[in-house]
């Protein structure tokens, strides 16, 4: 006897960072990299992002479990380097490697110059300057507030304008992982905590706190291995990474609120960890943003003077902590996002639209159209320079990358 199998209900699930934010950067690049399951061609971005997450998590575990790690500052060579080596080994095993000259991958006593080009390993290169500052500046304020790490968040949404004949499913799934959830008692919080200080300083958060009789709140935290993006719309008037990061945090908050054990989430915090020790490229971007006023945390006094007169010099580069003060770098590395119900609903509806757009492109491809005609190509110089599809990309701005005829 034949059994009739019912058609399985497939709900496409979208990951917030891996799918939705990637798609928003550039739909066509997202299609080439993610949907075809091809690895990105420049895994260094991936290496650093994963590395800094791993380091912060391991640092927290040591702080929590080992009394020797309760005291700050931690010494880079004696306390932090071991964590770096452990996380790097783990990433190497997965085929992810750092660029040379941003991270020394050799252990003490290795007697060849190797990729570093000089003896005396371990070297404290750019990435290690950042881990040192991330642990010693934010770790000591953040670790005491941590309630849970790596929190899986999931939800189901209705597909907007569902069409029975063309849409794959009436619903879609949305998923993400929040790095940290902090729990704070607002009237009884640790004194001298810089994170609590920044929260209280924010008038919108203060209003949210004043409007409720709750005592305990949650804060969602996301580490980003990138610089603070420019806070304006792009040249075509479209939203950028800046806005998308905010939607991401608001959506996390919305998904978290569906958990019965959750306390009210009043804020999200993004740590843009590159800001703690900017690279030359980061300084160059910052210089442009300062000139055209397209970033929200601006330098004053000596910082302003230094960044304006700074000249990019490949051969003789100055340490960025000599150019920008610790105070400015710290302020630029933290972004506080107030959470309200209204803004959560808005962010969900932004992603509903993004999913609908992705589904439309998928349908168009299923109907047999060629890939570049199904997915938009968006020009963002930094993303495009590192893109595998740039030489044949249909975006007219990417013509600059087409092979030159001599």
Q: Whose Cβ is closer to Zn ion: residue 7's or residue 319's?
A: 319
Q: Cβ of residue 318: shortest distance to Zn ion, in angstroms?
A: 21
Half-sphere exposure at residue 350, Cβ-oriented, CA atoms within 13 angstroms: 23
Q: Which stretch binds Zn ion (CB under 5 A): 16-24, 102-110, 215-223, 344-352?
A: 102-110
Which H helix or E strand runs over 181? strand 171-185
**Quick one: tokens of 141?**
């304020």
**Quick one: tokens of 346?**
């808005």
Please tell me whether residue 52 binds Zn ion under the rule CB under 5 A.
no
Q: Whose Cβ is closer to Zn ion: residue 23's or residue 106's?
A: 106
Three-state DSSP state, 17: helix
Contact 144, 170 (CB under 8 A): no
Kindly provide the residue ranges of all beta strands, DSSP E only, lying in 288-372, ordered along the sequence. 334-338
Contact 238, 285 (CB under 8 A): no
Question: Between residue 169 and residue 228, which ones bind Zn ion under the rule CB under 5 A?
Answer: none
Give the contacts of 358 (CB within 8 A, at least 6 positions apart). 14, 19, 23, 27
Q: Cβ of residue 87: shortest distance to Zn ion, in angstroms?
A: 16
Contact pattern for Zn ion over residues 14 through 33, marking x by CB under 5 A: --------------------
Q: Whose Cβ is closer to Zn ion: residue 104's or residue 344's?
A: 104
Q: Whose Cβ is closer to Zn ion: residue 104's or residue 384's?
A: 104
Question: Between residue 107 and residue 126, which ones bind Zn ion under the rule CB under 5 A?
Answer: 116, 121, 123
**Quick one: tokens of 195?**
């994170």
Q: Cβ of residue 124: shortest distance to Zn ion, in angstroms?
A: 9
Q: Whose Cβ is closer to Zn ion: residue 106's or residue 172's?
A: 106
Half-sphere exposure at residue 24, Cβ-oriented, CA atoms within 13 angstroms: 24
Beta bridge partners of residue 148, listed in sequence order = 181
Three-state DSSP state, 7: coil
Q: Cβ of residue 50: shortest distance to Zn ion, in angstroms?
A: 21
Q: Cβ of residue 277: shortest distance to Zn ion, in angstroms?
A: 17
**Quick one: tokens of 260?**
């019965």
Residue from 80, 98, 104, 255 in contact with Zn ion (CB under 5 A): 104
Rounded CA-CA distance 119/249 in Å is: 43
Q: Cβ of residue 117: shortest distance to Zn ion, in angstroms?
A: 8
Contact pattern for Zn ion over residues 125 through 164, marking x by CB under 5 A: ----------------------------------------
Query: Closest Cα partner for 131 from 281, 326, 274?
Result: 274
Q: Whose Cβ is closer to Zn ion: residue 121's or residue 382's?
A: 121
Contacts with Zn ion by CB under 5 A: the residue count is 5
Q: Whose Cβ is closer to Zn ion: residue 317's or residue 373's?
A: 317
> Which residues of the chain form contacts with Zn ion (CB under 5 A)?
104, 106, 116, 121, 123
């Amino acid at each position: 006897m034949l059994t009739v199998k019912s058609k399985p209900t497939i709900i496409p699930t979208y990951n917030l960072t891996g799918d939705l934010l990637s798609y928003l950067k550039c739909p066509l690049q997202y299609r080439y990299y993610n949907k075809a399951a091809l690895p990105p061609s420049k895994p260094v971005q991936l290496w650093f992002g994963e590395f800094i997450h791993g380091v912060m998590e391991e640092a927290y575990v040591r702080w929590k479990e080992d009394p020797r790690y309760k005291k700050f500052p931690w010494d880079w060579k004696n306390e932090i380097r071991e964590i770096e080596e452990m996380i790097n080994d783990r990433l190497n095993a997965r085929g992810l490697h750092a660029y040379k000259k941003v991270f020394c991958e050799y252990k003490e006593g290795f007697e060849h110059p190797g990729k570093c080009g000089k003896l005396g390993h371990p070297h404290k290169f750019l990435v290690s300057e950042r881990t040192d500052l991330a642990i010693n500046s934010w770790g000591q304020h953040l670790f005491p507030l941590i309630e849970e790490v790596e929190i899986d968040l999931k939800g189901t949404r209705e597909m907007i304008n569902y069409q029975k004949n063309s849409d794959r499913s009436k619903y879609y799934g949305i998923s993400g992982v929040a790095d940290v959830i902090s729990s704070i008692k607002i009237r009884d919080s640790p004194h001298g905590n810089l994170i609590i200080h920044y929260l209280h300083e924010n008038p919108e958060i203060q209003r949210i706190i004043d409007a409720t009789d709750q005592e305990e709140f949650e804060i969602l935290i996301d580490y980003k291995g990138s610089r603070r993006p420019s806070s304006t719309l792009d040249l075509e008037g479209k939203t950028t990474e800046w806005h998308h990061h905010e939607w991401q945090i608001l959506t996390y908050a919305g998904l978290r609120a569906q958990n019965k054990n959750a306390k009210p989430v009043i804020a999200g915090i993004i740590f843009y960890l590159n800001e703690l020790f900017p690279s030359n490229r980061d300084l160059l971007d910052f210089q442009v943003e300062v000139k055209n006023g397209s970033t929200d945390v601006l330098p004053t006094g000596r910082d302003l003077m230094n960044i304006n007169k700074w000249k990019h010099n490949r051969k003789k580069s100055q340490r960025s902590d000599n150019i920008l003060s610790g105070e400015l770098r710290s302020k630029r590395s933290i972004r506080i996002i107030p959470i309200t119900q209204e803004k959560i609903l808005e962010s969900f509806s932004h992603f509903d639209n993004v999913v609908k757009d992705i589904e439309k492109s998928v349908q168009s491809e299923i109907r047999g159209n060629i890939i570049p005609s199904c997915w938009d190509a968006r020009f963002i110089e930094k993303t495009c320079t590192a893109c595998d599809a740039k030489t044949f990309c249909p975006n007219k701005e990417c013509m600059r990358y087409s092979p030159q005829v001599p």
